[in-house]
Amino acid sequence: MAENEKKVVFSGVQPSGNLTIGNYLGAIKNFSRFSEEYKTFYCVVELHAITVRQVPAELRKRTYETLALYMACGLDPTKNTLFVQSHVPQHAELGWMLDCYTMFGELSRMTQFKDKSAKHSQNINAGLFTYPTLMAADILLYQTDLVPVGIDQKQHLELARDIAIRFNQLYGDTFRVPEGYIPTDTMKIMSLAEPTAKMSKSDTNQNAVVYILDSKDDIIRKFKRAVTDSDTRVCFSEDKPGVSNLMTVYRAFTGKSFEEIEREFDGRGYGDFKLAVGEACADGLAPVRAEFDRLIKDKAYLEEVMKAGAQDAFVNARRTMSKVRRKIGFVNI
């Protein structure tokens, strides 16, 4: 299939906070599987990050780190378009235009807006409210067919589809209506301290979160302290959220089924199980950490990748924006 006939994949990760194994297993690890058959755009979405106050120097540092992690996790910049969101101004331009085709009621129903408003009650800004429309612009700008997305972003993807359909009904065929890709085996990784809540990079309890760049000792220590229950049996069950979460992580890094895991640890108790999960996770992440350490030292190379990615993204984004501007009545010069 020719390059211009390939279907398109788009996804992005915020450079706010250290990325967790939830980010890795639920999103980044899956990105590389699309590189051969699709035209892929993977973005560092720092425009989204500033809906919450950021320390400027930290934001710049994490932008480089997120790009390096993309590559450390297997994304070859010669096969994937890797870029930084603000380097392609059409994201913000289309975001504003789509704001005008998104209903207030739709945005007010977004679960993440409610959650983040509760967490950041002193900074409930307009960007936090219209965040899903900018996400829709990110996706629709590249005529995206498929979006690898965490289950917590499913609502935002559904809104992007609704906006695309609405725009197309008003002006004719303009945007492709994207489909979501949600891995069924690693849909959501939960907190090690509170296994009924999603693992979050913003969690203040460092023992609740395993970061991609944690040392092996830290990873094993955190898993040893993970909350389970008063039972000692390793089995996957709704009434055992802590154990089930650890089994999900172990399955993701070993490829073993839940039935195989139950048989492996039958009668062995949680101590052996937690240690095995920690070691499997640490060993699985070791190549990623090593490659990241190499890449992050070469700032000039990372900037070359940013520039090349932005140029490729710009060409594709400009094509869509020319169509959108013409459809809504703007003058193109």
Answer whether 8's CB lies under 8 Å from 48's CB.
no
3-state SS, one letter per residue, for the chain: CCHHHCEEEEEEECCCCCCEHHHHHHHHHHHHHHCCCEEEEEEECHHHHCCCCCCHHHHHHHHHHHHHHHHHCCCCCCCCEEEEHHHCCHHHHHHHHHHCCCCHHHHHCCHHHHHHHHHCCCCCCHHHHHHHHHHHHHHHCCCCCEEECCHHHHHHHHHHHHHHHHHHHHHCCCCCCCEEECCCCCCCCECCCCCCCECCCCCCCHHHCCECCCCHHHHHHHHHCCCCCCCCCCCCCCCCHHHHHHHHHHHHHHCCCHHHHHHHCCCCHHHHHHHHHHHHHHHHHHHHHHHHHHHHCCHHHHHHHHHHHHHHHHHHHHHHHHHHHHHHCCCCC
Cα angle vertex 77, ends 73, 79, to 5°?
100
Using CA atoms, how far apart are residues 219 and 192, in angstroms rounded to an integer?
Answer: 11
pLDDT of residue 1: 42
pLDDT of residue 308: 98
> pLDDT tens track of the chain, all 333 residues?
445 579 999 999 999 768 899 888 877 888 888 988 999 999 999 999 998 889 999 999 999 999 999 999 999 999 999 999 999 999 999 999 999 999 998 988 887 777 777 776 787 888 888 999 999 999 999 999 999 876 777 888 999 999 999 999 999 999 999 998 876 655 689 999 999 998 988 788 989 999 999 999 999 999 999 999 888 889 998 889 999 999 999 999 999 999 999 999 998 889 999 999 999 999 999 999 999 999 999 999 999 999 999 999 999 999 999 999 999 999 988
Please give the structure tokens belonging to residue 231: 């039972």
pLDDT of residue 183: 67
Q: What is the pLDDT of residues 177-186, one digit of tens each?
A: 999 887 665 5
Answer whether 176's CB lies under 8 Å from 145's CB.
yes
Report, as residue numbers or ranges, the catalytic residues: 116, 198, 201
pLDDT of residue 186: 54
Using CA atoms, how far apart are residues 251 and 261, in angstroms rounded to an integer?
Answer: 8
Domain boundaries along the sequence of the chain: 3-182+299-328, 206-293
CATH topology of domain 3-182+299-328: Rossmann fold (3.40.50)
Bridge partners of 146?
Answer: 9, 179
How many alpha carbons fall within 13 Å on the CB side of residue 271? 2
Please give the structure tokens belonging to residue 244: 């089930």
Residue where the block lists tokens 């000692």? 232
Answer whether 50's CB lies under 8 Å from 127's CB.
yes
CATH of 206-293, one of 2.60.40.10, 1.10.240.10, 3.30.470.20, 3.40.50.300: 1.10.240.10
pLDDT of residue 203: 83
Residue where the block lists tokens 């609502």? 155
